[in-house]
Amino acid sequence: MSEAAPSREVARRVLAAEFNDARYTFTESDDERAPVYSLLPTGERANRVFVVGTLTETEDLGDDAEYWRGRIVDPTGTFFTYAGQYQPDAAATLRETETPVYAAVVGKPSTYETEEGDVNVSLRPESITVVDDATRDRWVVEAAERTLERIQAFDGASAGAPAGEDAAVAGEYAAMAETQYAPDLAVYRDRAVAALEGLEDEPQVAAEA
Q: So what's the pLDDT on residue 115?
A: 84
| Amino acid 209: pLDDT | 28
Q: Which CATH architecture has domain 11-202?
A: Beta Barrel (2.40)
Concatenated DSSP letters of 65-100: S--EEEEEEETTEEEEEEE-TTSHHHHHHHHHPPSS
Contact 133, 102 (CB under 8 A): yes
Residues whose CB is less than 8 angstroms from the CB of residue 62 and which lie 6 or more positions away in sequence, other chains included:
68, 84
The per-residue pLDDT for 207 is 38
| Cα-trace Rg, the chain | 18
The CA distance from 44 to 101, in Å, is: 30
Alpha-carbon span 200 to 178, nearest angstrom: 33
Q: Round to whole Å and give the CA distance between 196 and 204.
A: 14
The pLDDT averaged over each successive group of 10 residues in the chain (209 residues) is: 58 97 93 92 97 98 94 98 96 97 98 88 97 97 97 79 50 93 97 94 45
Amino acid, single-letter form, for residue 130: V
Quote the pLDDT of residue 118. 87
